[in-house]
Amino acid sequence: MDVRDLIVVGGGPAGVMAGMLFARAGCRVKVLEKHADFLRDFRGDTVHPSTMEVLDQLGWLGDFLERPHNRIDRAELRIAGREWTIGDLSHLAAPAPFIAMMPQWDFLDFLRDKAAVLPGFELEMGEPVTDFIEEDGRVAGVRLADGTERRAKLVIAADGRNSLVRQRAMLPLEILGAPMDVFWFRVAKTTPGRALRGSVERGRLLVMIDRGDYWQCAFLIPKGKAAELTGGGIEPICAAIAAAAPELDLSDLDSVDDLKLLSVSLDRLTRWHRPGMLAIGDAAHAMSPIGGVGINLAIQDAVAAANALAGPLAAGAEVDALLPKVEERRLLPTRLVQAAQKNAQDRIIGRLLEPGPPLDKAPWLIRLLDKAPLLRRIPGRLIGLGIRRERVESPLATAP
């Protein structure tokens, strides 16, 4: 029976990055992705400076930046009828001091192409995992939809917030909650820019991401209100969006089918591992879309997992005792980011989504950031580089 060193469940950014790093260290790796391709609209398209720093450590940043992308290096808000600049990434001490906006399928294609030259790497598309194989008190592999089995010394669950680990309640989950959901949509634009923009008014919160020839937009709504809001068709929603951003051309929004609903979750596993298995990325911690940091935290998890486990696994060592080290390394940044997101959700977004008087001025912190360019670098650093960013330290057994 063929037993791999590692099976990765889920071919998203965390899964493909982890599979590549473990194969790079000499492990025999199989990544299993349930979809037949990577083409998912409105998945996280933000590649932050912390992720590009990892690509630079691998020697791939130049190749990555040759692919079509847009760059964002500042954040702006419209509140009480005027624009405020609140974040600046352009001064980061990083190889790429900006957010690269790239469709996630292009980013995954890039990682897959780089991993494909490694003899130990294999990616199987269209292979949904339906269960885990457990023997002698540990996870020994996975079972596919066709009933066949894949076995490995270690299984990494990187299959997102709807992970099989969560569905099977294999690890304990703490739900932090979220007061909002998000409608994603896109509209054409004609003027270029390099900013992430937000429009904040009572009852209307809109985020606009510059994608060159179109705006990728997020319209925040109260939690669970999507069906109610779409029941009247697209016209009332367009009216609310137009009130938040009158400059947008909404002629392309023909029906509610043009809106993609994201049900926002904020939660984390209180234990990320059990014998033979480790959860990373959204499978371990579902993030709010605030800051767009979910992909980048997931990439950091993959790097930390490879740093701790890839070398010993490639050498044939038992790694169960090392699994807690990954959680210990990544739990603090996860907690801190989620605490900041929850605070923003509960104290700002949730309150703004409630009925009340119109805003007549921006909060004092927004006014301060707008007046003090040096202070804008603080939110820029927190969003761009995060907390406790990882450096690739896993071994290179096979030259790419």
**What confidence tens digit (pLDDT) does each residue in 70-112 have?**
898 988 888 877 888 888 999 999 999 999 988 888 999 999 9
The gap between the terminal CA atoms of the chain, to the nearest Å, is 28
Architecture of domain 180-222+225-262: 2-Layer Sandwich (3.30)
CB-based contact 259:230 (threshold 8 Å): yes
At residue 337's C-alpha, the angle toward residues 334 and 339, to 5°, is 100
> What would the pLDDT profile of 233-260 be if each residue is shown by its tens digit?
999 899 988 888 888 888 888 888 889 9
Question: Chain-wide mean pLDDT for the chain?
Answer: 90
Contact (CB, 8 A) for 150 and 141: yes
> Is pLDDT of 303 > 90?
yes
Q: Which of the four pLDDT bands, split at 50, 70 and 90, describes residue 398?
A: low
Q: Does 26 score more than 70 pLDDT? A: yes
Q: What are phi and psi of 255, to 5 degrees?
A: -155, 170
3-state secondary structure (DSSP) of residue 5: strand
| pLDDT band, residue 193 (cuts 50/70/90) | low
Please tell me the predicted confidence (pLDDT) of residue 17.
97
Mean pLDDT of 164-180: 93
Cβ burial 225-237 (10 Å sphere, 16+ → b, else e): ebeebbeeebeeb
Domain with CATH 3.30.70 in the chain: 180-222+225-262
Domain with CATH 3.50.50.60 in the chain: 3-72+102-176+265-354
* SS3 letters across 321-362: HHHHHHHHHHHHHHHHHHHHHHHHHHHHHHHHCCCCCCCCCC
- In whole angstroms, how far apart are CA 248 and each of 109, 216, 259? 32, 11, 15
Which pLDDT band, with edges at 50, 70 and 90, does 190 fall under?
A: low
* Angle at the Cα of 125 from the Cα atoms of 392 and 111, rounded to 5 degrees: 25
CATH architecture of the domain formed by 3-72+102-176+265-354:
3-Layer(bba) Sandwich (3.50)
What pLDDT is recorded for position 254? 87
The predicted pLDDT at position 103 comes to 86
Mean pLDDT value of segment 116-143: 94
Confidence band of 163 (pLDDT split at 50, 70, 90): very high
CA distance 252 to 387: 39
